[in-house]
Structure 1
Amino acid sequence: MISFVPFALVLGAQATRKGIDGAVVPMMTALNFGGGSEFAAVELWTSPPHVALIVAITLLINSRHILMGAVLSPYLRTLPRHRALSALFFMCDESWAMGLADARKRSDRFSVPYYLGVSLGLYFTWVSFTAAGAVLGPVIGDPTTLGLDMAFPAVFLVMLRGMWKGPVAARSWAVSLFAAVGTYLMVPGAWYVVSGALAGVVAAYLLRERVR
């Protein structure tokens, strides 16, 4: 939750610098709850906004949740549909990774209360501090000059460290990384998210026997 604070403030401050009304910022983060897509939406914001473009990029970046939801589906299958959908709504990269890490510690028994506790804590932290960033935006100025934007990649590096199983299992990560970087350099837009995810899935499938 503490790690969410810096880049939530950055997002809120950047949104107000782009001319987005401060009251709209927590509404956006509460309904979407996807940090990467929200940063992209703010970056693309104009007056009037290009709604179709923003929606398309948001869908593209959030497409990684399809794979994340597929990984969680065996654990949520026993829940009533409304509870499973609620759990998936509050899913983010961090709660997904922490929920799976906790399941490994419990001999592959997934704890829904633990997962929801993490998810709800992160959700309310994110919404609250993006709203605070919108209010404090004029005071903060350009948040990148303070280095607060480094918090976003730092969190993901810590997540990767927690999921590390050795160099053999991490080969699919390398494939995903090179595919994403190559696409980012050659193709405009957020297609690098999809290409990186798909390349990683294919590599993990092809290397599955060697990992075992």
Structure 2
Amino acid sequence: MSIAEATSAADGGSGSEFRRGVASCAPVLLGTIPYALVLGAQATQKGLSTVELSLLTGLNFAGGSEFAAIQLWTSPPHILLIVAIAFLVNSRHLLMGAALAPFLRDLPRRRVFPALFFMCDESWALGLADAKRRAADGVTPAFSPRYYMGAALAMYLTWVAFTTSGALLGPVLGDAETYGFDMAFAAVFLVLLRGMWKSIAAARPWLVSLVIAALTYLFAPGAWYVAAGALSGLLAAWLTAGDA
């Protein structure tokens, strides 16, 4: 079904756009499940209860910072350190929100705030790519809130459910990384990047971000590589904006 056909179907019932969002997210969900199980298993090894983990993933909903928090978890926990690292890891959401802002500008706040709360890397990439396709096809409005929420809520429910399952199965799974589940995290992002590919010129900020983040990871302790990669990629995009 084309974007225009999907939009026409949506005019006859709002549920069709929501279902389209869920359907487009389904392949990504399959890649999300393994590293959700890994996070849950790691949390139980650090001493968190299933309820505590469910609250963490349900209220924070940002896998990268949750992995960082679990890695730093001690008894008693160093709260300020964990909060600072979580903020640093989640700083990429500032750029993600800025990219979505033009499409959210005309929506009422009661719809914008839930959209931003449920925004994760996967739902952001799907929502932004869908909005750009709709704009290219001349569909107005370009951003479909129901499509986006279909993808975002599917990601949210899957993430919370399977991190909780990982916590329950942790004693049975043992070290979940021995199964290679942690590679699913990188695989999902490669798929998302492939879907947003335009050209070599447009990919230059990605390459700059990758190199700077890798060098920072090798030579600077902590999660500074996240901020370094994000800021260097943003600067590279600004400097090469006229060349893409």
**What TM-score bracket applies, with the shorter chain setting the length?**
over 0.9
Q: Matches of 1:170 and 1:75 in 2, distance apart?
A: 22
Other-structure match for 1:12? 40
Q: Paired residue for 1:204?
A: 237
Tell me what 2:207 maps to. Answer: 174
Percent identity, please.
62
Could you tell me how far 1:104 is from its partner in structure 2?
A: 2.0
- Return the alpha-carbon distance in structure 2 between the equivalents of residues 103 and 81 of structure 1: 19
User: Matches of 1:52 and 1:100 in 2, distance apart?
Assistant: 33
Q: Residue 98 of structure 1 is aligned with which of 112, 120, 126?
A: 126
1:5 & 1:173 partners in 2: Cα distance?
26
In 2, Cα distance between equivalents of 1:30 and 1:82: 20
Shift of 1:66: 0.5
Q: How does 1:84-163 map to 2 (within 5 A)?
A: 84-107=112-135, 109-163=142-196
TM (norm. structure 1) is 0.97
Distance in structure 2 (CA, Å) of the matches to 1:15 and 1:90: 22
Q: Deviations over 1:155-204 (max 9, x none)?
A: 00111111111111111111101111111111111111111011001101
Structure 1 position 28 matched with structure 2 position 61:
no
Q: Distance in 2 between matches of 1:160 and 1:21?
A: 35
Q: Alpha-carbon deviation of 1:79?
A: 1.3
Alignment root-mean-square deviation, CA: 0.8
Rg comparison, structure with higher value: 2
CA distance in structure 2 between the aligned counterparts of 1:180 and 1:17, rounded to whole angstroms: 29
Displacement over 6 Å in runs of 4+: none
Secondary structure (helix, strand or coil) at the match of 1:208 reads coil
Taking structure 2 as the reference length, what is the TM-score of the superposition? 0.85
CA shift digits 1:24-50 (9 cap, x unpaired): 111100000000000000000111111
**Structure 1: which 5+ runs fail to align?**
none
Cα separation, 1, equivalents of 2:207 and 2:150: 32
- For 2:228, the aligned partner's letter is S
Query: How many residues end up aligned between the 2 structures?
Result: 211
Once the two structures are overlaid, the 10-residue window that deviates more, 159-168 or 118-127, is 159-168
Quick check: 1:183 aligned with 2:216?
yes
Matched residue, 2:24 = none
